Structure 1
Amino acid sequence: MPVGNLGNRRTVRDLRRTNRATLLRHLYFEGPLSRQELGPATGLSSGSVSNVTSGLLTEGLLEEAGSVDSDGGRPRTLLRVAARAGSLIGVDVGETGVRVELFDISLMEQARAEYPLRAEDRGHEVTHVARLIAEGLAAVRASEDPEIPLLGVGIGVPGIVERDPARGGAVVHGQTVGWDAVPLEALLREETGLPPAVPLFISNGAKTLGQAEMWFGAGRGAQDAVVALLGSGVGASVVTHGSAYGGASRGAAEWGHTTVQLRGRPCRCGARGCLEAYVGAESILDRWRGPRRHGAGEESDLAELLASRTPEADAVLAETAEYLGAGIADLVNLYSPERIVLAGWAGLLLGPRLLPAIRESVTAYALHHPASRTTLALGELGPDAVTVGAATLPLSRFLDAGGIRTPDPAPSG
């Protein structure tokens, strides 16, 4: 057969996959919709819509969702992504614990397993973390419906993630947790026993949180945004040229390790004067009660600080708001986003009390013109945002592939 014919065959296959992906994504985010609505909404011809939806219905990826009356004609059948099209697992390797959640295709939680990470129990030692993830996967998968396929597992981790095929996939550089080029994907494949056909995605936790807020939370509708994660540590996800259905350029910024004070407070990364050393939950509590004198846990201690009305507590919070505003001003000056979302468990605790003071600080430190087009909002997805975002990694691959369950090798980053 002539090479040209092979090229044409490839093009037809790619076009079919693109059409499937277009319809599947639109129905996932905007459904249920009728076939008549899908044509104008996606730009596909009525024939393409009919052929593609017929195939997706036959494969069980779409289902009928009732009907609506049309103007003088027959009722129009509504379609949506089938509830049984697949399940997803999201994992958050945080500063203080590991959380594993099983979701259905609509990202409604079905099961959860949580494990604390304590120094006396080996903390973030990578083999320990891998074992906890494996335990969590086994625990939540015990609740799976065996007839619903697992579309993949997404994992959000602290640090920089690179892909190194020679080392088995994703390699993590997590300086604050002592991970130096850890081949996490290879370790997890060995520890968890996940079948090779189940995609495994590893990404920076701030980046997964950012995707969740952009898809389902406070970032919806923004083209250019920064989603800031405040927990024990600090990070950010930078989104440029975004859209409701992905397709944006996203990057994880080590915002917490930008310098805000020369020769300032020591940071966990080994440097001095990092933003994280002033606005991370651990550092805030250190300034309030002194190092290693926290109570039941960082979250409860931070809530206690916010409830306290002593001059010492007020001074710590005021300083935190000013440094956080200055750090956000750096994001404004660098990226000129239309929206900045303050998220992460510590950000959501601090935000309601400190947001007015943070805004004042942003105004004081940012350039006036980019600051005038930037709004500051609180995240909407709560403390589960990283696990939800991690689950969107296999979900995005599934939608991009038009529901074809034989994915290419999973990228990490």
Structure 2
Amino acid sequence: MAGRNGRTVRDLRRGNRAEVLQRLYFDGPLSRFELGPVTGLSSGSVSNVVAELVADGLVEEAGSVDSDGGRPRTLLRVAPTAGYMIGVDVGETRVRVELFDLALTELARTEHPLEHHRYDVDVVVGHILEGIAEVLDTTGLAPERLLGVGIGVPGIVAREEDRGAVVHGQTIGWDAVPLEALLRSARLLPDSVPYFADNGARTLGQAEMWFGAGRGARDAVVVLFGSGVGACVVTGDMTGGRAVEYGHLTVRVGGRRCRCGALGCLEAYAGAEALLARWREAGGEVPEEADEETALTALLAAAHPDEGAADAEGAGTPDPVASAVLEETAEYLGAGLSDLINLFRPERILIGGWAGLQLGARFLPAVRRHAAAYSLRYPAERVSIELGRLGPDAVTVGAAILPLADFFAAGGRRTGTPATPERRPPGWREALEDRASGGGAR
């Protein structure tokens, strides 16, 4: 039976289960008494929902706490072994695959290198499948116990009804790659285990908003600063945030050629790949045959030599070329952040990704200074710019959250392969269509 707002009794029950599960997950352990105020449910509804969740093996007791003059209250938590998720990060130099329990404890991890940024579709799909098989084999976990596999990828991810997640990754040469269909066609996992794919910046953003430096913020931007640059914009009315192609803002008309083919993109100046290329062009001594992380370490060491080495002749003198390249990069990144500040007026901007965290606290003051100089005063005075807290592997954690979020939304029930739900059209549409066809009142 549906109510006046179109919600059925089943919808209400699912919503109540989801609310209790999420409160226990993020704020628990909690007692039944404490669940009432934080969920807005009556004591009777809380008792009924908790009884269901305990019977389903999703919630378990976690000790007790004294009450005021009465019997001790039993504390409840989400059972860590009630489900498992796999997170995959298709990164710039490797494909990382991790297996987590519901408490996001890492149970197994494997990595497969991508040589020379080789994003051959068959190679990447093979690495993902091999990684999934490896972490399951390491733990002996039955695939049926997975809530799903989440995958963070470069580029724009669209969802098509017949092919699932399709990746448009212009910078890596992927043109409408049906990633989900390719993975499912291998039949490595049962059909009941869904795949979820999204932009890596969004998975990073979701991780930082749920568990990291974004907790408690209503409006935030999380920047993924690696070989390239991306961002996830989170606003109060936007569930989970939205990935934006931040690295392809035009910051210089007729400027450097970007990996996407356009001229003057932010990524062509502020991404780690471009940063190192500019250092080399300016005469910097970039280590030969070094990967980007090693080369960026060398750049930082040249610009900020260790104070302990100051006694050695010349060892403590900053390299002016390296320092100038870093300062210019901070200005470009700060100018790019000003666009986000003026457009979205976030409370917080968080910088993550391996390059952003490697540049670290020494880089932030210059970025903040330039962001303020290029922004409107009012929003600039109300935003904080900080580093993310979850480390360089946060994309993988965020990818694992994709099936977890779906599990919560379904009230703790496995949904199987995600599909576009069949929705009843809203009442206003039927009324206006009737009016347009001449059936309305005259």
Whether TM-score is above 0.5 comes out as yes
**Measured at CA, do residues 294 and 190 of structure 1 come closer, stay the same or move farther in structure 2, by a change above 3 Å?**
farther
Aligned-pair RMSD on alpha carbons?
2.1
Quick check: 2:136–2:143 contact (8 Å CA) kept in 1?
A: no
- The 1-side partners of 2:388 and 2:3 are apart by 49
Counterpart of 2:95 in structure 1 is 98
Superimposed CA distance per residue, residues 129-160 of structure 1 (whole angstroms, 9 cap, x where no aligned partner): 00000000000111143498211100000000
Secondary structure of the corresponding residue to residue 70 of structure 1: coil
Q: Is the 8 A contact 1:151 1:198 kept in 2?
A: yes
1:306 aligns with 2:300: yes
Cα distance in 2, alignment partners of residues 328 and 295 from structure 1: 32
Which residue number corresponds to residue 253 of structure 2? 262
What secondary structure is seen at the aligned counterpart in 2 of 1:99?
strand
Q: Which amino acid aligns with 1:347?
A: G
Distance 1:7 1:147, change over 3 A: farther
Q: Distance in 2 between matches of 1:410 and 1:118?
A: 35
Aligned twin of 2:181: 186
Candidates 143, 148, 153, aligned match of 2:149: 153
Query: Which of 372, 377, 389 does residue 368 from structure 1 map onto?
Result: 377
Q: Deviations over 1:97-143 (max 9, x none)?
A: 11000011111111101011113xx8101111000000000001111
State the partner residue of 2:132. Answer: 137
Deviations 1:242-269 (A, max 9, x none): 6xxxx73621110000110111111100
For residues 287 and 164 of structure 1, do their structure 2 counterparts lie closer, same or farther at Cα, with a shift above 3 Å needed? same
Q: In 2, Cα distance between the equivalents of 1:276 and 1:147? A: 39
2:266 aligned with 1:284: no
Shift of 1:11: 1.2
1:162 aligned partner: 158
Aligned-partner Cα distance in 2 for 1:342–1:72: 48
Identical residues among aligned pairs (%): 64
Aligned counterpart for 1:46 among listed residues 32, 43, 47 = 43
1:117-136 equivalent positions in 2, closer than 5 A: 117-119=114-116, 123-136=118-131
CA pair 266-51 structure 1, distance change in 2 beyond 3 A: same
Partner of 2:409: 400
**How far is the alpha carbon of 1:407 from its aligned partner?**
4.2
Spell out the pairing of 1:325-364 with structure 2 (5 A cutoff).
325-364=334-373
In 2: Cα distance, 1:349 partner to 1:55 partner: 46
CA shift for structure 1 position 361: 0.5
Distance 1:302 1:141, change over 3 A: same
Match of 1:79 in 2: 76
The 1:259–1:178 alpha-carbon spacing in structure 2 relative to 1, beyond 3 Å, is same
| Matched-pair contact (CA < 8 Å) for 1:153–1:201 | yes
Once the two structures are superposed, residues 224-255 of structure 1 have per-residue CA deviations (whole angstroms, 9 ceiling, x without a partner) of 1000000001000000006xxxx736211100
Quick check: 257-266 or 186-195, which moved more?
Answer: 186-195
Aligned length: 401
Whichever residue aligns with residue 256 of structure 1, its letter is G
Query: In the alignment, is the contact (CA less than 8 A) between 2:191 and 2:417 conserved in 1?
Result: no
CA–CA distance in 1 between the matches of 2:110 and 2:240? 32
Is residue 98–residue 108 contact of structure 2 (8 Å, CA) maintained in 1? Answer: yes
**8 Å Cα contact 1:87/1:148 also seen in 2:** no
Q: What one-letter code is carried by the residue in structure 1 that aligns with 2:235?
A: T
> Residue 217 and residue 225 in structure 1: after superposition, are their counterparts in 2 closer, same or farther (change >3 A)?
same
Using the TM superposition, name which of 291-300 and 275-284 deviates more.
Answer: 291-300
Structure 1 window deviating more from structure 2 (145-154 vs 216-225): it is 145-154
**Corresponding position of 1:221:** 216
Are the counterparts in 2 of residues 199 and 410 from structure 1 also a CA contact under 8 Å?
Answer: no
Cα deviation, residue 318, structure 1: 0.8
Scaled by the length of structure 1, the TM-score of the pair is 0.93
> For the structure 1 residues 227 and 8, does the alpha-carbon distance in structure 2 shift closer, same or farther, using more than 3 Å as the test?
closer
Shift in CA distance, 91/410, structure 1 to aligned 2, threshold 3 Å: farther
Are 2:174 and 1:212 equivalent residues in the alignment?
Answer: no
- Structure 1: runs of 5+ lacking an equivalent: none
Q: Separation in 2 of the partners of 1:249 and 1:101?
A: 21
The answer to whether structure 1 residue 62 and structure 2 residue 59 are counterparts is yes
The answer on 1:33 being equivalent to 2:21 is no
Whole-angstrom distance in 2 between the partners of 1:30 and 1:402:
17
CA contact (8 A) 1:200 1:410 kept: no
**Is the CA contact (8 Å cut-off) linking 1:322 and 1:361 kept in structure 2?**
yes
The DSSP-based 3-state class of the residue aligned with 1:220 is: coil
CA distance in 2, matches of 1:123, 1:315: 31
Given the alignment, which residue of 191, 197, 200 partners 1:202? Answer: 197
C-alpha separation in 1, matches of 2:79 and 2:402 = 19
Q: Partner amino acid for 1:171?
A: V
1:41 Cα offset (Å): 1.1
After superposition, the Cα gap between the structure-2 partners of 1:8 and 1:296, relative to the gap in structure 1 and judged at 3 Å, is closer
Structure 1 residue matching 2:261: 3-state secondary structure: coil
Does the 8 Å contact 1:401/1:407 carry over to 2? no
User: Matched residues in 1 for 2:28 and 2:34: separation?
Assistant: 10
Structure-2 change in CA distance of 1:79 and 1:116 (3 Å) = same
How far off its partner does 1:406 sit? 3.0
Q: What CA deviation, in whole Å up to 9, does each residue of 1:310-354 have, x standing for no partner?
A: 111111111111111111111111111111001111011113121
User: What is the identity, as a one-letter code, of the residue corresponding to 1:250?
Assistant: G
